[in-house]
Amino acid sequence: MAAKQQELLSAYLFVRGTSESYLRKAQRLAKKRKSGVHFVFPLVGAWDSLIVLEVKSGDLEALRGLVTGLTDAGDGSRVPHSAVAIPWPLGRIKKMELPSPVEVIVAMRTWAGVSLALFDDLQAQLSPPDVEVLIERVNGSYDLVCELSGQDLESTQGAVERLRAAVGDRATVDVAFAAF
């Protein structure tokens, strides 16, 4: 009989104002089994990096400990800017395992009563050619997070513009490009 797969809770940790050594530390953690760091995106744009975290389902205390460990160096220094987003309902983020040559992370803040309709509209309207789109409803500093993955910069930038047009004035949009 196959072993039961463990249910996991995921979160996005957006960070800005970090150093190269910070990024190397996060990437080392991503390579360690059971570190809680599932994936690290080095970014340019609104954020320096995005770290996908995973803990046992419902273990918000472990998640909080991971975030604290990644934003507080322990020597009195801290990451100057960070934001955390957890999928709604609480669950696992559908992170693609293998990045494409061009990845874009778009984090959106909406107004009261807007996020569900915007999520549904983006799911229905956003299917750009040659670009994979993953959209999550999240809680925390953002309401929606979208990952766009393409084979070239032009098609991926075109997908970002389609997304901006679909969002319109219903949300603020922070865009960051992954540096692979």
Dump pLDDT digits (tens) for 60-69.
Answer: 899 999 998 8
What does pTM read for this prediction? 0.81
Q: Using CA atoms in the order 10, 7, 23, 14, what is the torsion angle rounded to 10 degrees?
A: 0
pLDDT at residue number 107: 94
The amino acid sitting at 130 is D
User: Which residues have C-beta within 8 Å of that of residue 112, sequence separation ≥ 6?
Assistant: none
CA distance linking residue 160 with residue 105, whole number of Å: 9
Mean pLDDT of all residues in 2-26: 79
Other CB atoms within 10 A of residue 22 CB: 18
Assigned domain for 93 exists: no
In this structure, are 108 and 82 located in the same domain? no
Q: Could you say which of 87, 115, 131 is where a domain stops?
A: 87
Assigned domain for 3 exists: no
Q: Which CATH number characterizes residue 37's domain?
A: 3.30.70.920
User: For residues 14 and 7, which has the higher predicted lDDT (pLDDT)?
Assistant: 14
In this structure, are 13 and 69 located in the same domain? yes
Q: 70-74, 84-88, 121-125, 153-157 — which is least confidently predicted?
A: 70-74
Residue 116's domain spans which residues? 102-178
CA distance linking residue 175 with residue 47, whole number of Å: 8
Is residue 121 predicted with pLDDT exceeding 90?
A: yes
Mean pLDDT of all residues in 121-135: 88
Ramachandran class of 24: left when φ > 0, alpha when ψ lies in -120 to 50, beta otherwise: alpha
Mean pLDDT of all residues in 30-39: 90
pLDDT at residue number 75: 55
Is residue 175 predicted with pLDDT exceeding 90?
A: yes
| Domains identified in the chain, total number | 2
Q: Could you say which of 87, 112, 147 is where a domain stops?
A: 87
Assigned domain for 74 exists: yes
In this structure, are 68 and 21 located in the same domain? yes
In this structure, are 127 and 172 located in the same domain? yes
Q: Could you say which of 87, 120, 143 is where a domain stops?
A: 87
In this structure, are 17 and 82 located in the same domain? yes
Under the banding of pLDDT at 50, 70 and 90, the label for residue 166 is very high
Cβ-contact 43, 176 below 8 angstroms: yes
Give the DSSP per-residue string, 39-89.
EEEEEEES-SEEEEEEEETT-HHHHHHHHHHHHB-SSS-B-SEEEEEEESS
Assigned domain for 127 exists: yes
Assigned domain for 160 exists: yes
Q: In degrees rounded to 5, what are phi and psi of residue 155?
A: -65, -35
In this structure, are 78 and 118 located in the same domain? no
User: For residues 23 and 159, which has the higher predicted lDDT (pLDDT)?
Assistant: 159
In this structure, are 143 and 108 located in the same domain? yes
Assigned domain for 96 exists: no
